[in-house]
Structure 1
Amino acid sequence: MANAASSPGPVEQPAHTDPRLALMDHALGYLFPAALRAVAALGVADHLTGGARPIAELAESVGADPLNLRRVLRLLATQGIFVEDDGGRFALTPSAELLRTDVPSSFAPAVLMITDRSFWLPAGELEEAVRTGAPAFERLFGMPFFDHFARDAETAAVFHAGMASTSDPENPVIARSYDFPPGAVVVDHGGGHGGLLLAVLREQPEVRGVLFDQPHVLQGHHLGELGADHRWSLVAGDFFAEAPPGDVYLIKRVLHDWDDEHCVRILRHCRRAASDRGRVLVVDAVVPLGNDPDPGKVFDLLMMSSFSGRERTRAEFESLFAEAGLRLTRVIPTDTRLSIIEGVAAG
């Protein structure tokens, strides 16, 4: 790639680092996502599509201070995001390419969502969540997350764009990971703009779909892209109070937002509304046991700081299902960070 100068790659750390220095590095780790947010917000990657550029020229293009921009890019380059050549010019790397806003696979909206103040500020108050068992979000913003989300159009726009950036690449993979019964009515329960349901309808031409969410959310749905309007419908409602009739219920990245009581309420409504051949498919991370690193263990703290929910283990999903009158039948891995947790009516 002409615009990505030869990159030395991430700098390797010594095998036996002084544990005090390692702790120091961990404590300073929050500065990396801060730097990542800064370049995403400035649109730096969009100004490097033509190749490497001197920092003064790049800074002028994005409206930044050249010294400080160089310092931020220098840090990101240590992890292979951008690269500085011997002449002091910066260029894109494969990772930095994903920060461009003009590519279909752009991940810039996801970076801006994850580092948005609605997540960033409560994360800085994680101690409060650990002490009290409740997220700091409501104290900081004056209301629970989803109330703020519904009232603040700017936050909602950031959230929807970020979720699309995260979900669009994984939805077709998830849709191909499950054999939906021919003729089934698939309900995307709390499905947002319908990205997963759209992927299922494209992959499974013999099923029909229902997108179920709140009215203001449904206004931004994408199901019209299918080009077969007879195969889907919109139903507005509250998943804590009801569920539309259907055969298969998709519940993607919903349960991790809520505590057990609210999750059981959602699942019960699905079980009651489901047909005799009904199935509930929770699409979420399944946290493994043991001490090995896992993205779900990291994301779990995001849930802790801003929401009342959490990422769960298989045993915790089994408990939720049982309380809702469901039996967990299997956990199906996908080639994403999410699994499909299948349940059917118990007894």
Structure 2
Amino acid sequence: MSTENAERDSLFFLIDEALGYVHPAALRAAASLKVADRLADGPLTAAEPAERTGTDATVLHRIMRLLATRGVFEEAEDGRFRLTSVGHALRSDVPLSGRAAVLMLTDRTLRQPSGRLERCLSMGGSVFDDMFGMSFFEYFAQDEQTTATFHDGMAAMSDWENAPIAAAYGFPESGVVADIGGGQGGFLLAVLDGRPGLHGVLYDEAHVLAKHRPPGAELSGGGRLLHPRADVYLLKRILHDWNDEQCVTILRNCRRAMAPGGRVRVVDAVIPKGNEPHQAKTVDVMLMASLPGRERTSAEFAELFAAAGLRLSRVVATGTMLSVVEAVADEGAGG
């Protein structure tokens, strides 16, 4: 390839990359209108869902045409759009719907800070507080709609992965498992499923527990655990929200409370070495813009554990983006 062609290809590539922010905006618009639901029974022109939703048909056609270039829809020569297998999970009425996850990931609380990365560089981290006047979770506490969007989106991201993670790790058949910050309880239910001798504690904020009470799980709120001597402490998609100091505090509290022989099982992404794409690398930058947290390597997890009186014992791949990073008490550290 000539130098001129290589430079042209580089230019075209970078321009396409710079325009990439338009795609999630279009995806959010389609998700908010439940366009995929309306295509479930067969192809339609944009005018038909536009009429049912009271929106502009020409604008909707242009949005759907863009999403067709991404494989979400497919436009026929007669101008009708059909839903593809790639776009199937955009429906709200399918078992593994991704619609709520799309709405969460494209919410302004994540989207707007991610657009200000140059300020992250000068400020050394999250710009959320500067943009919204309070921290990420403080904002959630005073905005019910954003809170619902977040919890529904996290559940949608987790529903498909809970059972594979629970199966990949091999949880004990008996004892007490405490799911810290377990949200709607989907992962805890997957862990308990088929293990009648295993008891679960779902621990989260009171307002979360008041709305989501999984059957068969004991609930705890207000800052204390019903079973302070649990055998296993689960932290799924929790530590990546917090900085190292905050993570050490969380882990140290688990270390002090767990029963003899107990374990902490962190379920989070583990950033791999090398230049290959990995969703965790994208999520890491998103977190950097809005939260104090980060995605971590196995070595970084080991450092957190050591500071909390724990020792990394193993990392278990699960066939999902997440791994189970297990820690046991480091008796020599004293906790």
Q: CA deviation at 1:168?
A: 1.0
1:130 aligned residue: 121
Q: Which amino acid aligns with 1:308?
A: P
Residues in 2 aligned to 1:131 and 1:288: alpha-carbon distance in whole angstroms: 27
Of 202, 206, 219, the residue aligned with 1:234 is: 219
- Aligned partner of 1:85 in structure 2 is 76
* Shift of residue 134, structure 1, vs aligned partner: 2.8
1:56-95 pair list within 5 angstroms: 56-95=47-86
| Deviations 1:260-293 (CA, angstroms, capped at 9, x unpaired) | 0000000000011011110000000000111111
Distance change in 2, residues 1:337/1:15 (3 Å)? farther
Q: How does 1:120-199 map to 2 (within 5 A)?
A: 120-199=111-190
Secondary structure, counterpart of 2:280 in structure 1: helix
CA distance in structure 1 between the aligned counterparts of 2:19 and 2:146, rounded to whole angstroms: 27
Compared with structure 1, are the counterparts of its residues 237 and 244 closer, same or farther at alpha carbon in structure 2 (3 Å cutoff)?
farther
Deviations 1:235-260 (A, max 9, x none): 21448x99932000100000000000
Give the Cα separation in 2 of the matches to 1:331 and 1:68: 48
Structure 2 gap segments, 5+ residues each:
none
Task: Say which SS state the counterpart of residue 120 (structure 1) adopts.
Answer: helix
- Contact 1:47–1:62 (8 Å) recurs in 2: no
CA positional deviation for 1:16: 9.4
CA–CA distance in 2 between the matches of 1:55 and 1:153?
32
Alpha-carbon distance in structure 2 between the residues aligned to 1:191 and 1:342 = 17
How far apart, CA to CA, are the structure 2 residues paired with 1:182 and 1:242? Answer: 20
Measure, in 2, the Cα distance between the counterparts of 1:166 and 1:260: 24
What is the CA RMSD across the aligned residues, in angstroms?
1.9
- On the 8 A contact 1:285/1:311 being kept in 2, the answer is yes
In the other structure, the counterpart of 1:345 is 329
More deviation, 333-342/206-215: 206-215
- Cα displacement string for residues 75-125 of structure 1 (whole angstroms, at most 9, x for unaligned residues): 111111000011111110012221111112111100000000111111111
Aligned length: 327
The unaligned stretches of length 5 or more in structure 1 are 1-13
Deviations 1:140-197 (A, max 9, x none): 2111011111111000111111111111111111111222223210000111121111
Instruction: Determine if contact 2:233/2:265 at 8 Å carries over to the other structure.
Output: yes
Structure 1 length-normalised TM: 0.90
Map of 1:211 onto structure 2: 202
For the pair 1:288 / 2:279, whether they are aligned, the reply is no
Question: What residue number does 1:3 align with?
Answer: none
| Corresponding position of 1:4 | none
